[in-house]
Amino acid sequence: MSDALDAVRKAFAADLAGAADTVTVEALRVKYLGRKSELTAAMKDFGVLSADQRGAAFKQANELKAFIEARLSQRLTELAVAPARAALDVTLPGAAVVQGRLHPITQTLDAILSLFLPLGFEIVEGPEAEYERYNFDGLNIPREHPSRENFDTFFLDVPSPEPALGRLLLRSHTSPVQVRVMEQRQPPLRILVPGRVFRPDPLDPSHSFMFHQVEGLMLDDRTSFADLKGVLQQFLHALFGAGTKTRFRPHFFPFTEPSAEVDIACASCQGAGCSTCGHKGWLEILGCGMVHPNVLKGVGYDPDKVQGFAFGMGVERIAMLRHGIKDIRLLFENDLRFLSQF
Amino acid sequence: MKAPLEWLKAYVPITLAPKALAEKLTMAGLEVTSIDHGVLDVEITPNRADCLSMIGIAREIAVATGQRIKLPGGQGVGDKGQGKSRATKTGGIVIRVEDAKACPQYVGRVIEGVKVGPSPAWMQQRLLACGQRPINNLVDITNYVLLEYGQPLHAFDLDRLSGGTLIVRRAKAGEPITLLDGVARKLTPEMLVIADAKAPVAVAGVMGGTGSEVSPSTKRIVLESAQFDPISVRRTARALGLATESSYRFERGIDPQGVEAASRRAAQLIQELSGGRVTATITVGKPPAKSRRITLNVGRLDRRLGTRVNPVEARAMLARLSCRVAAAGSGTVLTVEPPSFRRDLTEEADLFEEIARLIGYDKIPPTLPAVRMSLPSGDGGLSYRRLQSLRCLCASLGLTEAITWSLLSEEDFTRAGYPVQDAVRLANPLSQDHALLRPSLFMGLLASVRRNVSRGVTSAALFEVGSVVDAQQLPEQPQRLGLMLTGDWQQDWQRRVPSDFFRLKGLLEALAVRVCAEALLAESGPQPWCEPGHGVILRIAGQPVGVAGLVARRIAHASDIEQDVWFAELAIERLLEHRRSTTTAHAPPVFPPAKRDLSVIVSDEVAHASVEAAIRETGGAILGQSRLIDRYTGKPVPAGKHSLTFALEYRDPARTLTAAEVDAAHQRIVQALAQRFSATLR
């Protein structure tokens, strides 16, 4: 091909690549195929060539013409189907998606519950306005007993619908559901009870008159104190990390014997003592023990044949530890700037 | 309870550093919460009344560290003038117990020739370290021995007792007494008192009266050491609003064998430190001769603890706790007689805990239970799971979960337009801010919106799942789902979508679609909190399941919310009655639909639902979907009217419809709308 034709082809290819609309494409048609085009001019020069060369040159020129025609109409079709778009500022923010969330207490509760479910525990709920019998007597907390002092309670100012079950109160722990379930079912039992509980503690950064607990109960003919330690240790490792140090200390609860309180080593100071743990090095995380024979007898179980453990923990306390929340009241203000973090 | 190490060392050798000792006690069940200048602060659980004393704590230290404890004497106290008779006057006094159940033991020692003055410095320092203010030698000694033995004592000025008489009896109704706190009180017959011939001189086990108080001029005293019934003391102390060192110990139960020992010890100290001399001892009642016997089966112990305990070691451990132990069988069944001061040890399980704690809870290796699988005995956690999926559904629809107080104030009720007189109240509220049980989730959500708005967060879309209380329905406490919207539903640089009634309704419909088998229908209905004409009653299959609407201006305003707020509340149990069962799937239609739009102009009185119903009714079997796609008012639609545009789809599952069939159906609809609503085509 002559150098002239080659130059035309190259120039056309460059122009076409930059042609983003039909007007430009039509202008290219005039530029490359019109009477004043370089191609037409080049073809006029073919007259000086020999007959042989002239034939070959015209053939090449016509092929180029056909090529240009074809590319121009192809581009026109492309532009008709998908006109070019203006470029976006892709750095603009994405459209706001309306996002809902679960409350951090619900999320923590769910984290706790989901660690016990694979062990075959079943979630049961019970009423918040509860009878005295389930909140106290059925749990081996007799009236006039000093152990009731640890369970100061709100009573409802209404006549009891069921006087034999005592007055109605706002349950001070989730343990009454244990008694309700035991009354209705036979062992083996593995239950978890989440829920709201109430105690007359004035609101301050670490106390609230309303909070949440998770209660667990496992009863059969063989579950032992060593099993209690095993299950709760697994749970605490899963919740706080496999390396978390735990300790079981003797304690007193009227409804368990032996009873224990379980501490985890304070993560902030690694046991050295700091303000998070009140300079103890340990954080009290749950209470537990072997279900007291009196509780079993109270629901008609034979304490020689049925044994097992119960445990209970405060959900807010765990949520506060997990999320570094310093004031329990934040959990009940429902300030969206707080909630939107979870 | 405060326990100075220096004082404890009087009874038990302590070689451990304070921190190590604190650790040991904590792991033995006596949690040491702080150590301050050699004073331990020990948390004593309600069952361990025996540890409410220096000797008690020393005993625990001895057990934990393998030491022996040394008790103080009581030496040199003469038993002159022993008397037991209720009538005879011994040493110038008569002591009579009228209620032996409330006072099983009473020891009175008459000490003559006492000189009242300050107590020695060592005693004052110990009292101060325990947080007690020194008063004078006699009072200090009674306080000192209370702390030492855990046995409350009281000293009466014998010369101020009318008739030289002490009677333990029930108070007469309205009988007055001025107690040592300086407050005059009226007594009731439930209260046990110590009285002289005329009037009460002390409330038994709680506090003495001013009338017989030891004064600088006191010469002769009666030293009281007694055992009072825990329940009686507890009731009395509560009724009087008093909690004293004495009542605290009586309520938890004192060592019946310690009554005489403590009396002797105090008498000895009085003789030594105030120069008096015991001239008479009157004892009424006596400690129970026999103590409890508990059978401990070591096999059962092993099963309960999940570890092997050597019976010989179990025996030794119980002996360390001052139990008397006898073995039967092959030594695996023990008969255990706990010491009198361990009133908490009443059954086998109590001994299991004692042995576990002496082994050390940390020494019992953790195991995982060997369980046999069993079917869930209840619903398998289904009802909780349903509530939880409802919460997740709400969150997925764009709502943020709130947790609001179950307890409200009267003001919360009034602000929300709820009558206060229907409220269920607490009998003993902590404060009036939280004294009424919530009858609805409305107040709590409104308070949350109020708080957000006042803090400049003016857009909120909240939900809460929780129970409410209605006096008529107790003890049932229905579960509710509450929704509250205000401000913008969505806002970014491209668009701003304010919340409105239809946003709320859309959320509720979406919820119902996901949860229920049938559609949620709304019919207009007034609510106390709702703007007239902006509220609906929600029904599923004809049954009411909830309410929704715009919060009345005056109610929002009362909460300082000067913007529109929408609220809905659903009864979860009722919603779930209509829950969807497993879906039966249909393959998507094979034949294409014929799509027609229908635009009609109707009067503003005509409700959309009735037009929609007429379309459905007259469209016939071939009318598939009908969807409202536009509602328009304004020119060229005449005033008082609006246009509704529906996108209709006609289809037959088995074939392609002909144009004639579709036209006929469409025409029927147009005619029906014209007839029923005077609708004209736009």
The CATH code of the domain that includes B201 is: 3.50.40.10
- The 3-class secondary structure across B530-597, one letter per residue, is EEEEEEEEEEECCEEEEEEEEECHHHHHHCCCCCCEEEEEEEHHHHHHCECCCCCCCCCCCCCCEEEE
CB contact under 8 A, B307 and A226: yes
Element (H, E) at B170: strand B165-170
Helix axes A22-33, A3-17, angle to 10 degrees: 170
Identify the pLDDT of residue B525.
Answer: 86
CB contact under 8 A, B371 and A120: yes
Q: What are phi and psi of A31, to 5 degrees?
A: -65, -40
Helix axes B298-305, B348-359, angle to 10 degrees: 60
Write the CA distances from A162 to A132, A143, A324, B186, integer angstroms.
10, 18, 44, 35
In chain A, which ranges are E strands?
122-123, 129-131, 154-155, 168-170, 189-198, 210-220, 246-253, 256-265, 282-291, 307-314
Helix (H, G, I), strand (E, B) or coil at A60: helix
CB contact under 8 A, A335 and B461: no
Structure tokens at B287: 């400690």
In angstroms, the CA B361 to CA B29 distance is 10
Quick one: B110 and B183 in the same domain? Answer: yes
Quick one: B117 and B86 in the same domain? Answer: yes
Burial B551-569 (b: 16+ CB within 10 A, else e): bbeebbebbebeebbbbbb
Q: What is the CATH number of the domain that holds B498?
A: 3.30.930.10
In angstroms, the CA A12 to CA A68 distance is 8
In B199-332, which ranges are E strands?
200-203, 207-208, 220-227, 277-284, 294-297, 324-328
Q: Determine the average pLDDT of the residues in B537-542.
A: 93
Quick one: B279 and B299 in the same domain? Answer: no
Q: What are phi and psi of B119, to 5 degrees?
A: -85, 160
| B48 vs A contacts (CB less than 8 Å) | 252
A222 touching B (Cβ < 8 Å): yes
In angstroms, the CA B315 to CA B457 distance is 68
B15 located within any domain: yes
Q: What is the CATH number of the domain that holds B641?
A: 3.30.70.380
- Cβ neighbours of residue B472 under 8 Å, at least 6 residues apart? none
Res B337 pLDDT > 90 = yes
| A156 vs B contacts (CB less than 8 Å) | 424-427, 437, 474
In angstroms, the CA B226 to CA B162 distance is 21
B21 located within any domain: yes
Q: In what order do the strands lie in the sheet with B31-36?
A: B2-4, B39-43, B31-36
Residues 26-85 of A with CB under 8 A from B: none
Q: State the CB neighbour count (10 A cutoff) for residue A155.
A: 16
CB contact under 8 A, A334 and B452: yes
Write the CA distances from B96 to B54, B188, B228, B257, B266, integer angstroms.
32, 20, 14, 21, 22
Quick one: B113 and B230 in the same domain? Answer: yes
Res B85 pLDDT > 50 = no
In angstroms, the CA B444 to CA A62 distance is 85
Q: What's the DSSP call for residue B402?
A: -
B645 located within any domain: yes
In angstroms, the CA A295 to CA A292 distance is 5
Q: Determine the average pLDDT of the residues in B190-195.
A: 94
CB contact under 8 A, A258 and B356: yes
| Neighbour-count burial of B493, counting CB atoms closer than 10 A to its CB (0-12 exposed, 13-18 middle, 19+ buried) | exposed
Identify the pLDDT of residue B79.
Answer: 55
How many alpha carbons lie under 13 Å from residue B610 in its C-beta half-sphere? 14
Q: What are phi and psi of B426, to 5 degrees?
A: -80, 145
Please provide the distance, in angstroms rounded to a whole number, between the alpha carbons at the two ends of chain A: 72
Q: In which band, very low, low, confident or very high, does the pLDDT at B86 lie, cut at 50, 70 and 90? A: very low
Nearest to A157 among B48, B426, B490 (CB): B426
A-B Cβ pairs (cutoff 8 Å, strict): 266
| B352 vs A contacts (CB less than 8 Å) | 257-258, 290
Tell me: the pLDDT tens digits for A162-180?
A: 999 999 999 999 999 999 9
Tell me: the pLDDT tens digits for B45-79?
A: 989 999 999 999 999 999 999 899 998 866 656 55
In angstroms, the CA B371 to CA A222 distance is 8
Q: Is the CB of residue B191 less than 8 Å from the CB of residue B236?
A: yes
Residue with the larger pLDDT of the pair B373 and B116: B116
Quick one: B101 and B203 in the same domain? Answer: yes
CB contact under 8 A, A146 and B475: no
Q: What are phi and psi of B454, to 5 degrees?
A: -65, -20
Identify the pLDDT of residue B372.
Answer: 84
| A334 vs B contacts (CB less than 8 Å) | 402-404, 448, 451-452, 462
pTM: 0.86
Residues forming beta bridges with residue B169, ordered by sequence position: B193
| A117 vs B contacts (CB less than 8 Å) | 381
Identify the pLDDT of residue B8.
Answer: 95
- Summarize chain B as % helix, strand, coil (round to 5): 35, 30, 40
Q: In which band, very low, low, confident or very high, does the pLDDT at B152 lie, cut at 50, 70 and 90? A: very high
CB contact under 8 A, A155 and B489: no
Helices (H), B17-85: 18-27, 54-65
Boundaries of domain holding B620: 594-681
Quick one: B134 and B60 in the same domain? Answer: no
Quick one: B48 and B89 in the same domain? Answer: no
* Closest CA in chain B for residue A109: B388
Quick one: B405 and B506 in the same domain? Answer: yes
In angstroms, the CA A133 to CA A299 distance is 12
Q: What's the DSSP call for residue A155?
A: E
CB contact under 8 A, A125 and B33: no
CB contact under 8 A, A189 and B401: no
Q: Is the CB of residue B354 less than 8 Å from the CB of residue B321?
A: yes
Identify the pLDDT of residue A47.
Answer: 76
- Counted domains in chain B: 5
Query: CA quadruple B518, B520, B522, B528: dihedral positive or negative?
Result: positive
Quick one: B305 and B182 in the same domain? Answer: no
The size of chain A, in residues, is 342
Letter for the amino acid at B45?
A: T
Chain B: give the shortest CA distance to residue A99, in Å.
5
Q: What are phi and psi of B494, to 5 degrees?
A: -95, -40
Quick one: B433 and B567 in the same domain? Answer: yes
In angstroms, the CA B162 to CA B172 distance is 17
Tell me: the pLDDT tens digits for A41-94?
A: 777 777 777 878 888 888 888 888 888 888 888 888 888 887 777 889 999 999
What is chain B's mean pLDDT, rounded? 92
B102 located within any domain: yes
Q: In which band, very low, low, confident or very high, does the pLDDT at A147 lie, cut at 50, 70 and 90? A: low
Residues forming beta bridges with residue B192, ordered by sequence position: B170
CB contact under 8 A, A101 and B401: yes
Structure tokens at B41: 């602060």
Q: Which of A96-110, A141-155, B151-165, B469-483 has the lowest mean pLDDT?
A: A141-155
Q: Is the CB of residue B223 less than 8 Å from the CB of residue B179?
A: no
Q: What's the DSSP call for residue B332?
A: T
Q: Is the CB of residue B435 less than 8 Å from the CB of residue B410?
A: yes
Q: What are phi and psi of A104, to 5 degrees?
A: -55, -30
Identify the pLDDT of residue B311.
Answer: 92
Letter for the amino acid at A293?
A: P
Q: What's the DSSP call for residue A34?
A: S
In angstroms, the CA B252 to CA B257 distance is 15
Burial B72-87 (b: 16+ CB within 10 A, else e): bebeebeeebebeeee
Quick one: B299 and B403 in the same domain? Answer: no
Rounded to two decimals, the ipTM of the complex is 0.88
Q: Which of A295-299, B449-453, B471-475 has the lowest mean pLDDT?
A: B471-475
Q: In which band, very low, low, confident or very high, does the pLDDT at B87 lie, cut at 50, 70 and 90? A: very low
Identify the pLDDT of residue A12.
Answer: 87
| B28 vs A contacts (CB less than 8 Å) | 250
Identify the pLDDT of residue A15.
Answer: 86
In angstroms, the CA B59 to CA B42 distance is 14
CB contact under 8 A, B366 and A181: no
| A260 vs B contacts (CB less than 8 Å) | 361
Identify the pLDDT of residue B616.
Answer: 93
CB contact under 8 A, A257 and B426: no
Q: In which band, very low, low, confident or very high, does the pLDDT at A17 lie, cut at 50, 70 and 90? A: confident
Chain A: give the shortest CA distance to residue B116, in Å.
36
Q: Is the CB of residue B222 less than 8 Å from the CB of residue B108?
A: yes
Name the one residue in this structure whose structure tokens are 């722990």.
Answer: A173
* Closest CA in chain A for residue B391: A102
Identify the pLDDT of residue B111.
Answer: 93
Nearest to A335 among B424, B455, B477 (CB): B455
Write the CA distances from B580 to A64, A300, B515, integer angstroms.
70, 39, 6
Which of B36, B65, B94 is the last residue in one of the domains? Answer: B65
Tell me: the pLDDT tens digits for A182-232?
A: 999 999 999 999 999 999 989 999 999 999 999 999 999 999 999 999 999
Helix (H, G, I), strand (E, B) or coil at A92: coil
Chain B: give the shortest CA distance to residue A320, in Å.
15
B371 located within any domain: no
Identify the pLDDT of residue A87.
Answer: 87
B217 located within any domain: yes
Q: Is the CB of residue A140 less than 8 Å from the CB of residue A252?
A: no
Please provide the distance, in angstroms rounded to a whole number, between the alpha carbons at the two ends of chain B: 88
Chain A: give the shortest CA distance to residue B606, in Å.
34
Quickly list DSSP for A274-329: -TTTTTSSEEEEEEEEEEPHHHHHHTT--TTT-EEEEEEEEHHHHHHHHHT---TT
Q: Which of A19-23, A137-141, B356-360, B466-470 has the lowest mean pLDDT?
A: A19-23
Identify the pLDDT of residue A82.
Answer: 77
Identify the pLDDT of residue A48.
Answer: 79
Residues 98-157 of A with CB under 8 A from B: 98-103, 105-106, 110, 117, 120, 122-125, 127-129, 131, 144-147, 149-150, 154-157
B71 located within any domain: no
Helix (H, G, I), strand (E, B) or coil at B480: strand
- Cβ neighbours of residue B90 under 8 Å, at least 6 residues apart? B81, B82, B83, B110, B280, B282
B265 located within any domain: yes
Res B296 pLDDT > 70 = yes
A164 touching B (Cβ < 8 Å): no
- Cβ neighbours of residue A156 under 8 Å, at least 6 residues apart? A129, A167, A168, A169, A170, B424, B425, B426, B427, B437, B474
Quick one: B321 and B412 in the same domain? Answer: no
Q: What is the CATH number of the domain that holds B357?
A: 3.30.56.10
Q: Determine the average pLDDT of the residues in B473-500.
A: 94
